[in-house]
Copies of this chain bind each other. A is one copy, B any other.
Amino acid sequence: MGEYKRVGILGGGQLAMMLCEAASRLGVSSKVLAPDANCPAKRTADMAVQADYEDLQAVQEFAADCDVVTFEFENVPVRSLFSLQEANHIVAPGAKILAIVQDRLTEKQFLQDNQIPLARFARIDKVSDLGPAMEAVGLPAVLKTRHFGYDGKGQTWIHEEKKAEAAFDLIHHHPAVLEEVVPFVREVSVIAACNYKGGFVAFPVTENVHEAGILRQSSIPANCSVEVAETAIAITRKIIDALGYVGVLAVEFFETGNGKLLVNEIAPRVHNSGHWTRGGACPDQFEMHIRAVLAMDMPQPKCASSAKMQNLIGADILQAEELQNAGWQVCDYGKSRKQPGRKMGHAVKWQ
């Protein structure tokens, strides 16, 4: 037998599960490292290693027989990635981007430094920063912790000046960013990929609906104008170029009433708003990521003309059978713990 390429993935959730599925389709061997012995990715990975992301020795051993190491979520300790790079392992995307996006402030500063349009923001370290920040940003605004936020966690609105301190209390005085609330007509995202040679491909712009900070639904085509869609892709490319990025990157935007785009956030990984591509595009975002990080060809994706994805959150998963009968392609992440707000699966329909 020949020796096949092998990808190592830090993380064992549904994104890793679908990355391993794509790897298998490409004839690429896959390995995941996760602290949870019963993680969703165990079903599709060729090998699963149970270890903490902080365990540098375990991470090094894990990487030893991988052609490339990648990750499925932003909160992998950046130190683990840097230690791999120092030991000459190929890590894609690189540790640098992770260091940037793990901190909302450095992420915004990076974007600002690269002339990427985004909403106003201000740094909050202490109570006395709140006044000047509200002055600069305006109200209402959203106060977000700089670290470890996801799916609407670690953030709270400020509607009135006098409630600002209570909001800061709510996030336990963690270092934070105050963000302008942008009145938007729609939310869109771009999923794009870049390889080591600078080759760039983007999936069609996706329109997203969030509820309580969690993505509920994504669809293509987005209802924005062609110009807005082109601008979204051009901004994404600018971000990728500025980073020398390798792999799939997602950029979330707000489109304002006058057709202006503001970057909300970037995710250095495959993204929930790209789940419609699993079925609705070939390659899908998962296969595109594996292709990019392993320096394989990155074909332009052939995409459905229209597609919808809805997240199955908490008890929504109980509707899976009904959705399947109605022609939806259901993906159940196989998570045993059903809790409110937890992403349990998603469903895709396309034509």
Contact = CB atoms under 8 A, between A and B. Distances in A.
Instruction: With a 10 A CB-CB cut-off, give which of A3, A25, A304, A349 has the most chain B CB atoms.
Output: A25
**Lowest 8 CB-CB distances: which A-B pairs, in order?**
A2-B321, A2-B320, A27-B330, A282-B282, A302-B302, A297-B327, A299-B351, A3-B321
Contacts of A320: 1-2, 4, 27
10 contacts: A1-B317, A2-B321, A5-B324, A25-B331, A26-B329, A27-B331, A27-B332, A280-B282, A281-B282, A297-B349
A140 interface: no
Instruction: With a 10 A CB-CB cut-off, give which of A296, A345, A349 has the most chain B CB atoms.
Output: A296
Q: How large is the interface on A (under 10, 10 to 19, 20 to 34, 35 or more residues)?
A: 35 or more
A318 interface: yes
Contact of A299 (B282, B331, B350): B350
B25 A21 contact: yes
A175 interface: no
A329 B25 contact: yes
A332 B1 contact: yes
A332 B4 contact: yes
Contacts of A120: none
Given A297-B349, A302-B302, A278 B25 contact: yes
Nearest to A346: B27
A321 B3 CA distance: 6
Interface in A278-330: 278-284, 287, 296-297, 299-300, 302-304, 317-324, 327, 329-330
A251 to B, nearest CB: 24
A257 to B, nearest CB: 34
Contact of A304 (B27, B302, B324, B345): B302
Contacts of A331: 25, 27
A345 to B, nearest CB: 8
A156 interface: no
Nearest to A334: B1
Contacts of A322: 2
B2 A296 contact: no
A324 B4 contact: yes
A324 B282 contact: no
Interface in A85-119: none
A24 interface: yes
A24 B18 CA distance: 11
Nearest to A312: B2
Given A297-B349, A320-B1, A321-B3, A27 B303 contact: no
A4 B321 CA distance: 6
Given A1-B320, A317-B1, A332-B1, A25 B303 contact: no
